[in-house]
């Protein structure tokens, strides 16, 4: 049975129609691959479409401010992807005459580009026979080869197999066919093996229990933090600051606050955090609300309190602003803050 022929002819009739596919534009391919890291296709599509309307070329990305690119990325999460893409756009404009490198190593050296993204862009946009190995493709191949344990030698075996099988004339289609096969047929649970174009050679299917391939890794329990933050008012404006570039959610705007430490009440933590960050002791009023948000490695419960200043002005090392509620749309905020804005819109913004 001809593996690549079957995979490619299945792709012809079953491929997902996506706005960044079948368009020879390396900028689109690169952007979509970055957006698709840790994010589902359905979530990415509207962001991708809005982004390319705002920034039709990579040069438009390079010319935009970090604030403006983060505003377009707002809600998509993992914001370092956006900051790195922005930095990489500058490098392409300044050091590569505005041309996205078609050399694997040169492209790999750009910020935010790892081996997976480099392989995807090289194969899809530049027709280079480099296999991509993401979670879907690893699962498909481990089943075909009957590799249950994902030890280093199994990973190497997968890579070798794909390197041999990849179609040198249509490497991008080959990689995308395997991605689509993994997401629609060779799914983690209940794979639809009777519809699979390569079921005849699948060792995992032959074993009678394809779902058990590859062996699932035990997930570490992720920590949960209680966070207290302050909506600090001075008349009709409240205080926001920009999170430091190096922190999680870097470059987004936030309310002063932070994690509750052991033995602290929410209000004690809030007082401490505001004093540490802004050197003021505001009066804490009623709670606006509490919202939950799950990140990749931990989750938070964020408690927001109305606060008012007592004649003191916050002193912070971070860029800061006093804004009115109707100005929030001008700033990129984390998703948890948007959940709190919804509560404020419903219950009223006044203390």
Q: Point out which residues bind ligand DGT (CB under 6 A).
A: 227, 229, 247-249, 254-255, 257-259, 300, 302, 334, 336-337
Q: Cβ of residue 161: shortest distance to ligand DGT, in angstroms?
A: 40
Distance CA 181, CA 335 (A): 32
How is residue 341 annotated by DSSP?
Answer: H
* Closer by beta carbon to ligand DGT, 149 or else 281: 281
Q: Cβ of residue 257: shortest distance to ligand DGT, in angstroms?
A: 4
Q: Cβ of residue 280: shortest distance to ligand DGT, in angstroms?
A: 15
Is 40 buried (19+), middle (13-18) or exposed (0-12) by CB count in 10 A?
exposed
* Closer by beta carbon to ligand DGT, 208 or else 223: 223
* Closer by beta carbon to ligand DGT, 58 or else 232: 232
* Closer by beta carbon to ligand DGT, 203 or else 344: 344
- Which residue out of 5, 33, 165, 277 is catalytically annotated? 33
* Closer by beta carbon to ligand DGT, 23 or else 294: 294
- The 10 Å Cβ neighbour count of residue 3 is 17
Please, which residues have CB within 8 angstroms of residue 191's CB and are 6 or more apart in sequence?
143, 185, 210, 211
Residue number, nearest CB to ligand DGT: 258
- The contacts found for 243-252 with CB under 8 angstroms, 24 or more apart, are 243/318, 244/318, 245/83, 248/295, 249/79, 249/334, 250/79, 250/80, 250/83, 251/66, 251/67, 251/70, 251/79, 251/83, 251/332, 252/70, 252/74, 252/79, 252/332, 252/333, 252/334
Instruction: Annotate 267-299 with b (16+ C-beta within 10 A) or e (fewer).
Output: eebbbbbbeebbebebebeeebbbbebebeeee
DSSP annotation string for 80-105:
HHHHHHHHHHHHHHHHSTT----SHH
Q: Cβ of residue 332: shortest distance to ligand DGT, in angstroms?
A: 11
Judge whether 33 counts as a catalytic residue.
yes
Are the C-beta atoms of residues 193 and 210 closer than 8 Å to each other? Answer: yes
Q: Cβ of residue 300: shortest distance to ligand DGT, in angstroms?
A: 5
Q: Cβ of residue 304: shortest distance to ligand DGT, in angstroms?
A: 8
* Closer by beta carbon to ligand DGT, 210 or else 332: 332
Torsion over CA: 39, 94, 118, 108 (sign) = negative
Q: Cβ of residue 171: shortest distance to ligand DGT, in angstroms?
A: 39
Residue from 10, 37, 40 nearest 121 by CA = 37
What DSSP element (H or E) covers 332?
A: none
* Closer by beta carbon to ligand DGT, 259 or else 342: 259
* Residues with active-site annotation: 33
């Amino acid at each position: 049975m001809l593996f690549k022929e079957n995979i490619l002819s299945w792709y012809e009739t079953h491929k997902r129609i996506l706005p960044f596919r079948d368009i020879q534009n390396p900028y689109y391919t690169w952007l979509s691959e970055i957006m698709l890291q840790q994010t589902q296709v359905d979530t990415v599509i509207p962001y991708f479409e809005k982004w390319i309307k705002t920034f039709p070329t990579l040069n438009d990305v390079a010319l935009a401010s970090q604030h403006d690119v983060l505003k377009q990325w707002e809600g998509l999460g993992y914001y370092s992807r956006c900051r790195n893409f922005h930095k990489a756009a500058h490098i392409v404009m300044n050091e590569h005459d505005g041309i996205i490198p078609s050399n694997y190593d040169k492209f790999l050296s750009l910020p935010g580009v790892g081996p997976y993204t480099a392989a995807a862009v090289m194969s899809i946009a530049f027709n280079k026979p480099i296999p991509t190995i993401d979670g879907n493709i690893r699962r498909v191949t481990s089943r075909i080869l009957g590799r249950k344990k994902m030890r280093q030698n199994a990973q190497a075996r997968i890579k070798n197999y794909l390197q041999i099988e990849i179609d040198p004339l249509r490497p991008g289609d080959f990689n995308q066919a395997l991605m689509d096969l993994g997401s629609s047929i060779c799914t983690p649970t209940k794979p639809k093996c009777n519809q699979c174009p390569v079921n005849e050679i699948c060792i995992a299917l032959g074993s009678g229990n394809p779902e058990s391939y590859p062996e699932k890794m035990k997930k570490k329990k992720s920590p949960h933090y209680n966070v207290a933050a302050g909506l600090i008012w001075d008349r009709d404006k409240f205080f926001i600051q920009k999170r430091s570039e190096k922190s999680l959610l870097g470059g987004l705007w936030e309310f002063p606050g932070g994690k509750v430490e052991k033995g602290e009440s929410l209000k004690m933590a809030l007082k401490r955090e505001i004093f540490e960050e802004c050197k003021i002791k505001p009066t804490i009023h009623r709670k606006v609300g509490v919202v939950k948000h799950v990140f990749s490695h931990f989750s938070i419960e964020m408690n927001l309190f109305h606060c008012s200043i007592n004649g003191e002005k916050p002193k912070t090392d971070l860029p800061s602003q006093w804004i009115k509620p109707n100005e929030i749309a001008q700033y990129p905020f984390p998703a948890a803050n948007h959940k709190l804005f919804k509560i404020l819109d419903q219950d009223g913004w006044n203390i």
